[in-house]
């Protein structure tokens, strides 16, 4: 940030009086420009014993596999953002379960929020590659391309899911009931 977005004058980076951290300050119009973390909302779409992954057509991590997710927009809710991103990246319709993983990434000022979801297979085609994806596919646990996943948040979410599913299976509970999966929170301080 070099200029005040309100009046166009140059800004300086300094600690305002009555504050404890530096902000971009405009001495001309007095505006303090706060900068805050952004939410990345997405889904883990499930169909039977398979999960949906998208191969990224864009940087960063072009060619690697990810869950459909992206920056939440003003004016929408977190669940709406997860549904929209899934539609955009995988051309897929989902029914959302609850918030499943929430991962803080303080070094890049992001908070990932991934929802469990059921992939709807009553709409045709059930999925296809959106403009930001090279390919969209369903994977069984044993076929997940662990070494080609795009982000640690995605690895974390898939690990949680397969571990929870295995536990539910051992407990002879219905692994398809999304309500049985509860929130995992974590912090990742590097990619």
Q: Which residues bind a second copy (CB under 8 A)?
A: 1-8, 10-11, 18, 21, 24, 33-39, 71-80, 98-99, 102, 104, 106-107, 109, 111, 131, 182-183, 185, 187
CB of 186 to a second copy, least distance (A): 10
Nearer of residues 45 and 70 to a second copy, judged by Cβ: 70
* CA dist., res. 130 & res. 28, Å (int): 45
Q: Tokens representing 30?
A: 């007095």
CB of 101 to a second copy, least distance (A): 11
* CA dist., res. 144 & res. 148, Å (int): 9
CB of 142 to a second copy, least distance (A): 31
* CA dist., res. 86 & res. 66, Å (int): 11
Question: How far from 27 is each of 8, 13, 105, CA to CA, in Å?
Answer: 11, 11, 32
* CA dist., res. 31 & res. 23, Å (int): 10
Nearer of residues 8 and 30 to a second copy, judged by Cβ: 8
Nearer of residues 53 and 184 to a second copy, judged by Cβ: 184
β partners of residue 44? 116
Nearer of residues 102 and 138 to a second copy, judged by Cβ: 102
């Amino acid at each position: 940030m070099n200029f005040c977005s309100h009046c166009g004058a140059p800004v300086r980076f300094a600690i305002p009086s009555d504050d404890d951290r530096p902000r971009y300050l405009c001495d001309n119009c007095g505006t303090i420009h706060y900068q805050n973390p952004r939410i990345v909302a997405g889904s883990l779409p499930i169909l039977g014993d398979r999960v949906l992954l998208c191969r990224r057509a864009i940087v960063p991590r072009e060619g690697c596999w990810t869950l459909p997710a992206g920056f939440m927009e003003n004016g929408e809710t977190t669940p709406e953002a997860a549904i929209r991103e899934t539609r955009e990246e995988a051309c897929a319709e989902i029914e959302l379960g609850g918030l499943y993983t929430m991962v803080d990434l303080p070094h890049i000022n992001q908070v990932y929020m991934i929802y469990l979801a059921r992939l709807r297979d009553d709409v045709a085609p059930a999925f296809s590659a959106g403009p930001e994806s090279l390919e969209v596919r369903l994977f069984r646990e044993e076929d997940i391309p662990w070494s080609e996943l795009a982000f640690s948040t995605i690895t974390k979410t898939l690990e949680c899911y397969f571990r929870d599913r295995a536990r539910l299976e051992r407990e002879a509970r219905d692994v398809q009931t999304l309500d049985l999966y509860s929130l995992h929170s974590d912090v990742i301080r590097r990619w």
